[in-house]
């Protein structure tokens, strides 16, 4: 038997096991609440009325680089909506708070994934979709959370905050001047790296959640219009993270969500202390999701 066939059988068996475990939990139901606007507080009272589901996670061992020893084995999930926004609350154990990024140090992250409408009507693969079947991926990052909170606390401009962070991360670095201090803004752009190239991930963050789409491995792309919001809190050795999205976000790159609707949702978690980043993650199969009327 060819290695590719063996791998396909292993992946199929793992997916079947995950799907069976997820189905055993039953449908995740998003309870309805009256508070207007996005729900961002992981400690909000509404979460007490939402049934908690434990979603099993598998290590990512299909696409290189693999992660055979993923740190997080399961997450606890609750869902709620108010007719305008849907919110999912994720909770998992993590002994360390990793929200600073260095060359060899990674941050904690979590993601929520929804299937998008596709041409043949088939459900997209839970592994970031597949050709012809895209998915919406809302990724919360602890490093983004830290950036947002520090900018709010200090009230600094985006660029001043970025420079402050560089000095904090590399206190022994010597800098005579920065390009924007001696050049016009347009002339300084080539010296500003990803920020100068308008990389959406490098821009100053107003939210710790990155709104993205994918159509298979290696296709993850940030949307031009960032609609998702969220907030994460680390305390007592655990992360509690809320990821929220407008129901009526519209367009082909947004999931079809409305009161009374039924869809699917999947999850992924990265633990920075375990050197998890990119493809090195823990992930789930699709879980049925229903929004209360």
* Residue 2 reports pLDDT greater than 70: no
Q: How far apart are CA 20 and CA 14, in angstroms?
A: 10
* Residue 21 reports pLDDT greater than 70: no
Among 51-55, 146-150, 237-241, where is mean pLDDT lowest?
A: 146-150
Q: How confident is the model over 252-267, as a mean pLDDT?
A: 94
Q: How far apart are CA 260 and CA 290, in angstroms?
A: 7
* Residue 286 reports pLDDT greater than 70: yes
How many percent of the chain have pLDDT more than 70? 86
The model's pTM: 0.87
pLDDT band at 290 (very low <50, low <70, confident <90, very high): very high
From the centroid of its chain, how far is CA 185? 32
pLDDT on residue 27: 92
Among 40-49, 70-79, 101-110, 148-157, where is mean pLDDT lowest?
A: 148-157
* DSSP letters spanning 36-103: -S----TT-GGGGGSPPEEEE-EE--SSSSP-TT-S--EEEEEEEE-SSEEEEEEEEE-SS-----BT
* Residue 133 reports pLDDT greater than 70: yes
Q: How confident is the model over 105-118, as a mean pLDDT?
A: 95
Q: How confident is the model over 103-122, as a mean pLDDT?
A: 90
User: Which token pair is 19?
Assistant: 């799907």
Q: Which candidate, 23, 199, 233, places its Cα nearest to that of 110?
A: 233
pLDDT on residue 188: 87
pLDDT digits (tens, 9 = 90+) for 49-93: 999 999 999 999 999 999 999 999 999 999 999 999 999 999 999
pLDDT on residue 117: 87
* Residue 288 reports pLDDT greater than 80: yes
* DSSP letters spanning 146-187: HHHHHHHHHT--HHHHHHHHHHHH-TT---S--HHHHS-HHH
Q: Which residues contact 70 (CB under 8 A, 6 or more apart)?
A: 57, 58, 59, 60, 269, 271, 274, 276, 281, 282
User: Which token pair is 178?
Assistant: 């920065």
* Residue 157 reports pLDDT greater than 60: no
pLDDT on residue 171: 81
Q: How confident is the model over 137-155, as a mean pLDDT?
A: 88
> Do 281 and 271 touch, CB atoms closer than 8 A?
no
Task: Report the mean per-residue pLDDT for the chain.
Answer: 88
Q: How far apart are CA 213 and CA 115, in angstroms?
A: 10
pLDDT digits (tens, 9 = 90+) for 184-223: 988 988 888 887 877 877 777 889 999 999 999 999 999 9
Among 136-140, 243-247, 254-258, 265-269, where is mean pLDDT lowest?
A: 254-258
Cβ-in-10-Å burial (0-12, 13-18, 19+) of 38 comes to buried
pLDDT on residue 39: 94
> Do 138 and 228 touch, CB atoms closer than 8 A?
yes
pLDDT band at 159 (very low <50, low <70, confident <90, very high): low
pLDDT on residue 80: 98
């Amino acid at each position: 038997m060819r290695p590719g066939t063996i791998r396909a059988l292993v992946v199929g068996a793992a997916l079947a096991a995950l799907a069976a475990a997820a189905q055993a939990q039953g449908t995740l139901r998003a309870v309805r609440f009256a508070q207007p606007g996005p729900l961002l507080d992981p400690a909000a009272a509404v979460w007490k009325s939402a049934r908690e589901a434990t979603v099993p996670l598998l290590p990512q061992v299909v696409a290189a680089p693999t992660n055979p020893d993923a740190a997080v084995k399961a997450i606890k999930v609750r869902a709620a909506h108010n007719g305008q926004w849907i919110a999912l609350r994720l909770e998992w154990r993590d002994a360390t708070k990793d929200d600073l990024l260095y060359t060899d140090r990674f941050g904690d992250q979590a993601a929520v994934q929804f299937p998008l409408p596709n041409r043949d009507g088939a459900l997209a693969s839970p592994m970031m979709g597949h050709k012809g079947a895209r998915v919406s991926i809302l990724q919360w990052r602890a490093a983004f959370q830290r950036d947002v909170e520090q900018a709010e606390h200090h009230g600094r401009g985006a660029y001043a905050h970025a420079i402050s962070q560089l000095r904090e991360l590399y206190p022994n670095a010597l800098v005579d001047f920065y390009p924007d201090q001696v050049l016009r803004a347009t002339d300084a752009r080539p010296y500003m790296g990803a920020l100068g190239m308008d990389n959406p991930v490098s821009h100053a963050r107003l939210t710790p959640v990155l709104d993205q789409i994918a159509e298979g491995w290696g296709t993850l792309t940030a949307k031009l219009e960032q609609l998702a919001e969220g907030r994460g809190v680390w305390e007592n050795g655990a992360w509690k993270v809320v990821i929220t999205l407008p129901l009526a976000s519209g367009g082909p790159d947004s999931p079809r969500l409305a009161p009374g609707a039924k869809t699917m949702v999947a999850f992924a978690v990265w633990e920075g202390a375990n050197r998890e980043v990119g493809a090195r993650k823990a992930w789930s199969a699709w879980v049925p999701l229903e929004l209360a009327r």
